[in-house]
Structure 1
Amino acid sequence: MDKQPIVQQVIEHLGVELQAAEQAARFAHETATHEENVAENKYDTLGLEAAYLAAGQARRVEEIGLRLRVWRQLQVRAYDDAQGIRLTSLVLLADENDQRQWLFLGPEGAAIKVQDKQRTILVLSPDAPLGQRLLGRRVGDEVELTVAGRSQHHEIIEAY
């Protein structure tokens, strides 16, 4: 199964997120350096607050840019039953009510949903609780996850 379209959608999503963050960072920087935000006395903190916001926005741009680079360099691998589920695995789970859900294990920073061939795929990290439980598992295995004190059981139906 071709998983590259999933990766491409995540890259596009992160690109849009990066553009929005860059615009917010520019606006925050302009606000922080605007002449009207120069402190008039020691209690005037508007300029200082704007500077903190600008620094935070700049960090956000760096973080999103790093995630985007990681996703662009991602090597998509086919599922190998000998190794089980790992990074870039596409997995179909079914819960005890036979509700099915597609998951794609990707690098951190893209907990989003994408569409591929009329199916919704949740992109999650191996660091997420469900991602951790899936690592190394195989088709037919069951995973259990406790959410809000309630135990959830899922069976791995397919893996690619």
Structure 2
Amino acid sequence: MDKNLLQEQVLAQLQADLQQAQRAAQTAHEAATHEENVAENKYDTLGLEAAYLASGQARRVEELRQTLITWRQLRPRPFDAAQGIALGALVLLVDAQERERWLFLGPQGASMKLQQQGLEIQVLGSAAPLGRALLGKGPGDEVRLAAAGGVQSFEVLAVE
């Protein structure tokens, strides 16, 4: 699989998310500053609510900008067994029920599923519990995670 193509797909999705968030932030700002939303009394909170929404939307836009910056700086490299799994690694895991899943490990902030060569690849941030557990591991290593339903076990089958 092509990790650079996966990164391009992540960047395209993040850019689309950013554009959508910018439109939402603009709409929320317009609502917060519209003359019809000026409070007529202390119980009229429509303008205040719109301002809170606009503030939240602006924070989301900034988070997406930062995520885009970190993903643009990522340079996927071939797997180095001495270093173990690192950012930019493409990892094949198998769980206790023998279900295989591909993960593309990157900086935080871009959780999504992608398709490549007919396979589904979960994009996972290194700050996620599974992402943290995978760092430094290699093929044949076992990863265990505490989950709501008990402990989940995965074996690393391959790393690219």
- The bucket for the TM-score relative to the shorter chain is over 0.9
In structure 1, the gaps of 5 or more residues are: none
Amino acid across the alignment from 2:11: I
Q: CA deviation at 1:70?
A: 1.3
TM-score w.r.t. length of structure 2: 0.95
Query: Distance between the aligned counterparts of 1:63 and 1:77, measured in 2?
Result: 26
Show the counterpart of 1:48.
Answer: 48
Q: CA deviation at 1:42?
A: 2.2
Between 138-147 and 19-28, the greater mean CA deviation after superposition = 138-147
* Paired-residue identity, %: 57
Show the counterpart of 1:27.
Answer: 27
> Retained in 1: the 8 A contact 2:85–2:138?
yes
In structure 2, the gaps of 5 or more residues are: none
Query: Distance between the aligned counterparts of 1:64 and 1:107, measured in 2?
Result: 12
What stretches of structure 1 move > 6 A for 4+ residues in a row? none
> Retained in 1: the 8 A contact 2:74–2:87?
no
- 2:86 is aligned with 1:86: yes
How big is each residue's C-alpha offset from its partner over 1:110-141, in whole Å with a ceiling of 9 and x where there is no partner? 11111111111111112111111111111111
Show the counterpart of 1:121.
Answer: 121
Show the counterpart of 2:140.
Answer: 140
TM-score w.r.t. length of structure 1: 0.95
Amino acid across the alignment from 1:145: L
Superposed CA RMSD: 1.1
Q: CA deviation at 1:149?
A: 3.4
Query: Distance between the aligned counterparts of 1:96 and 1:51, measured in 2?
Result: 48
